[in-house]
Amino acid sequence: MNNLAEPSTATPDFAAIKTRQQATWASGDFAIVGTTLQIVGELLAEAADVRADERVLDVAAGNGNATLAAARRFARVTSTDYVPALLDKGRDRAQAEGLDVAFQVADVEALPFADGAFDCVLSTFGSMFAPDHHRTAAEMLRVTRPGGRIGLASWTPDGFIGKMFKVVGGYVPPPAGVAGPPLWGTEGHLRNIFGDVEMHCTRRDFNFRYRSPAHMMQVFRDYYGPVLKAFAALDANGQASLRRDLEALACEADISGGASLVAPAAYLEAVIVKR
């Protein structure tokens, strides 16, 4: 998960990796963490200039932060993810706000939509976790009309979450031969996988706010699939050591002055215009 190198020449078993990923993201309750990230969806919808009546696709939508942001701007939104339970959370949120959104189970690496079907494609911390980066980028480009936009929010390798992935990967190594998700948080990698496009990148911080480092890590251990699964794979000593390392990382990132926890996490906001 934390491996930032490009994949090796050996072809990974993407189908098997994806099956394990689905189980990981279906575990816990990602919405407990995901809903705190809503502001990222709002900022991305503004950066991508989402407008009323545009056809917008949210890929790897999770619990629907970009989905809701686009729907609040009166776009015609289709929200997709390959984990049905995550879509259910987004559907509940949209219904609570009276927003008209279509929800559909779909894999970002094999989108069931026609070429050029959407004016705008969005993803907040979602597409970056698909194992085949080039195929994911190609599918997002394919379903975007010429002149349309792709808006992405992706954790950076050097930010708080990128470092957290690295800590977790030291205990539970990521799949061999698969490029690390935080590569999506680097402009160079995006230009590599998206090719000949117009691209505008902005580095931003999202502030995780919890009662304490211990509180944050308990929430992640209980509800955030990748961390939950990592703890489940370790014995008691390994779990205690991982928890110490994660809490130390949170303490290092904390800018609250000790009153609570405020941990800035860097991410890359990218807006891509298809030629």
Superfamily of domain 14-208+266-273: Vaccinia Virus protein VP39 (3.40.50.150)
pLDDT of residue 2: 42
- For residue 259, count other CB atoms closer than 10 A to its CB: 9
Count of Cβ atoms closer than 10 Å to residue 60 Cβ: 25
Residue 8 has pLDDT above 50, yes or no: no
**Which tokens belong to 222?**
């209980």
Domain boundaries, the chain: 14-208+266-273
pTM: 0.93
Give the CB-side neighbour count of residue 231, counting CA atoms within 13 A.
20
Q: How confident is the model at residue 4 (pLDDT cuts 50, 70, 90)?
A: low
Examine the pLDDT at 7 and tell me if it is beyond 90: no
Q: Which two tokens stand for residue 124?
A: 């907040």
pLDDT tens figures, 45-103: 999 999 999 999 999 999 999 999 999 999 999 999 999 999 999 999 999 999 999 99
Return the structure tokens found at 72: 């609040």
Of 93, 121, 94, nearest in space to 106 by CA: 121
pLDDT per position as a tens digit, 143-182: 999 999 999 999 999 999 999 999 999 999 988 888 999 9
Spatial CB neighbours of 15, under 8 Å, sequence gap ≥ 6? none
43 membership: H or E segment, kind and range: helix 38-47
pLDDT of residue 1: 40
For 211-267, what is each residue's pLDDT tens digit?
999 999 999 999 999 999 999 999 999 999 999 999 999 999 999 998 999 999 999
* Cβ atoms of 143 and 121 closer than 8 Å: yes
